[in-house]
Amino acid sequence: MRAAGAGRVRMILAPVILGVVVLVLWQLAVVGFAIKPYVLPSPTAIGDQFTRAFGSIWSGTRVTGFNALIGLLLGAVFGILFAIVSALVRVFDEATLPVVTALAVVPIVALAPVLYTMFGAGAETGRQLIAALAVFIPVYVNTLRGLRQVRPVHRDLMRAYAVSSWQATRTVTLPGALPFLFTGLRIASSLAVISALIAEYFGGPVAGLGKSITSAAAYSNYALAYAFVLGSIVLGLVFYLLTLALEKIATRHSPA
Amino acid sequence: MSNAVTVSAASKIFPLARGKRVVALEAIDLTVAPGEFVSLIGPSGCGKSTLLRLIADLDQPTAGRIEVFGKSAKQARIDQDYGIAFQQAGLLPWRTVTGNIELPLELHGIGKRARRARAAELLALVGLSDFADRYPDQLSGGMQQRVAIARSLAESPELLLMDEPFGALDEMTRERMQNELVRLCAETGAAVVFVTHSIPEAVFLSDRVVVMSPRPGRILEIVPVGLGSAGNRDDGLREASGFFAAVKAVREALHGVPAEEVRADSAAGVPSGAPGAEVLYASEAPAPRGLETR
Ligand SMILES: Nc1ncnc2c1ncn2[C@@H]1O[C@H](COP(=O)(O)OP(=O)(O)O)[C@@H](O)[C@H]1O
Ligand SMILES: [Mg+2]
């Protein structure tokens, strides 16, 4: 009990101390060596910009975060549906395999210019679709793996109970696949944020974090650019921690 | 009244890669009367599980017929005429103990209140009332197996199929579970087909012990134990001379002593040496030919 508590304190304290040390060294280096802001702004300058521009960072976070969230939901829904159909229909699985493999190796953001011409760069649709596509792959792959992990003893049990295949799917297959699905979702959450953010680099009148980073840098306001980067990091962490918590809940009673 | 189980000339061949095949069962004839406890014993790979799976309609015989309560095995499965327990408890880890026991009832459309009541009843029966709301990963192996047995009893089946349900348990838990099973069977009057590796376990539990041999899987002999009705069995029986005689008979059948001799021994009630916790090993000895297998 005591040891576990001490372990937890150390687990949290150690990275915090390391972070503080890095920040102090960074500050000292920038001041001591008179490093130019366009090379590397100091932490205090970034912090100063962060508080001053908080309004626009917050609104940028909301735009990018909303796109990432829509992408995450859309990609997850389609990933799960496709995985279920793939698990049930072998032909479908064989047909989708090459497409999914291709999607998995293509950097999805490369599609941004194409999607912008389809939907217009001003609309958020293109960016949401990019996030959704990036999310689709890990959710699909992990869910499908989970759906195929039904234990033989559970399959026998369902047959012994003479239930319909849909009942069996609902009773053992889907719940058994949930931990896998949430692992996929946790991996996908970071991809959703990264894709939504990078997609903004490809132009358009956007109020998101990605666009703000590029325009701040274009106006040589490097500390402000880093302040937006800081906002992106926080956004990514929020997505990650929320899906990590979901995963922990979903795998709570999984056998070791 | 029709038999609980009738297996007539059943065989099962599993095709393997490159045209090879395994004869898991050959020409099996076996009947189990209502309320009768029959054990299947024999070395690994002699087809015990396969035979049980055929009766449960989890697999189909290559040839021959299987009837359960006078219907085809398939119809009996659809009608939910049997309860089944495997060597692995096979509980659903995301359901509580109660949720696991309720599973068959829930799948077959029994209302929530009736389910709860039945689960509570069964939990009391297997001595796990205090664990109703726990999850399987919070239980020991023996407790999980008891939950699985409670689940197999949920719909009060007239036939119980059990594939080495105590195989993974330690000797003490195992004997306690055997006593519980004997008591349960006395209370419910269900017929049981019970797969085991342990001679004393088979003898203690059964009305008849079916001794099988591998390659191809066949019935060598059926040893009648006849130690009295299930209600009279308790730990005292484990020391009785009739028990030892039956253990000896089963052991000799397994090791290929001619059937006549075994019968004579067992009829005379000659006690053998203490069986201890004798567990069968996989015998490679060829099965003697021409034995009556009924
Ligand atoms: N699904 C299967 N496919 C191929 N061979 C099998 C299969 N199931 C069982 N067998 C074979 O059938 C024989 C009997 O197996 P089994 O019934 O499990 O034996 P036991 O339960 O007595 O140990 C073994 O040789 C085994 O390898
Ligand atoms: Mg077996």
How far is CA A181 from each of CA A67, A135, A145, A163, A174, rounded to the nearest angstrom? 21, 12, 9, 24, 10
Contact A229, A222 (CB under 8 A): no
In this predicted complex, what is the ipTM?
A: 0.81
The answer on pLDDT for B94 being more than 80 is yes
Domain extent, residue B257, equals 5-81+157-293
Last residue of a domain, one of B151, B170, B195: B151
What's the pLDDT tens digit per position in B98-149?
999 999 999 998 999 999 999 998 898 888 899 999 999 999 888 899 999 9
Percentage of chain B with pLDDT > 70? 82
CB distance B50 to ligand 1 below 6 Å: yes
Q: Scanning every residue of chain B, which has its alpha carbon at the shortest distance from the alpha carbon of A165? A: B107
- Chain A neighbours among B 113-172 (CB < 8 Å)? 135-137
Ligand 1: which residue has its CA nearest to atom 18? B49
Q: Do B58 and A255 touch (CB under 8 A)?
A: no
Longest dimension (CA), chain B: 57
Residue of A8 and B161 predicted with greater confidence: B161
Residue B294 has pLDDT above 80, yes or no: no
Give the helix/strand (H/E) hosting B212: strand B208-213
Q: Are residues B169 and B203 in the same domain?
A: yes
Fold for A45-250, please state it: MetI-like fold (1.10.3720)
Cα–Cα nearest to B104, from B87, B121, B91, B88: B91
Q: Which residue of B has its CA nearest to A177?
A: B94
- A255 vs B contacts (CB less than 8 Å): 93, 136-137
Taking contacts as CB-CB distances below 8 angstroms, the residues of chain A near B80 are 161-162
Distance CA B31, CA B38 (A): 9
Per-domain residue ranges for chain A?
Answer: 1-35, 45-250
One domain, residues B142 and B11: no
What's the pLDDT band for A112 if we cut at 50, 70, 90? Answer: confident
d(CA A209, CA A233): 10
B114 shares its domain with B201: no
Percent of chain A past pLDDT 70, that is, above it, reads 96
Number of domains in chain B: 2
The confidence score (pLDDT) of residue B276 equals: 38
What's the whole-number average pLDDT of chain B? Answer: 82
- Is B72 touching A (CB cutoff 8 A)? no
Cβ pair A31, A42 in contact under 8 A? yes
Residue B210 pLDDT grade (very low, low, confident, very high; cuts 50, 70, 90): very high
Q: What is the pLDDT of residue B260?
A: 43
d(CA A235, CA A68): 10
Q: Is residue B241 over pLDDT 80? A: no
How does residue B229 score in pLDDT terms, banded at 50, 70 and 90?
Answer: low
**pLDDT on residue B289:** 40
Reported as a pLDDT band with limits 50, 70 and 90, residue A192 is very high
Residue-level pLDDT at B1: 63
pLDDT at residue B232 in the model: 62
pLDDT band at B18; cut points 50, 70, 90: confident
What average pLDDT does the segment B212-224 reach? 89
Best residue for ligand 1 mutational test, from B11, B21, B41, B49 (most atoms within 8 Å of Cβ): B49
Average pLDDT on A242-250 reads 89
* Higher per-residue confidence, A17 vs A206: A17
- Strand-pair partners of B83: B160
Where does a domain end: B151, B176, B196? B151
Q: Which of A244-248, B1-5, B224-228 is predicted with the least confidence, judged by mean pLDDT? A: B224-228
Distance, in Å, from the CA atom of A24 to the CA atom of A231, rounded to the nearest integer, reads 20
Q: What is the pLDDT of residues B23-67, one digit of tens each?
A: 989 999 999 999 899 999 999 889 999 999 999 999 999 999 999
- Mean pLDDT score of chain A: 87
pLDDT tens for B250-261 read: 888 888 754 444
Q: Is the Cβ of A174 closer than 8 Å to some Cβ of chain B?
A: no
Q: What's the whole-model pTM score?
A: 0.76
Query: In the prediction, which pLDDT does B75 show?
Result: 92
Mean pLDDT score, A125-150: 91
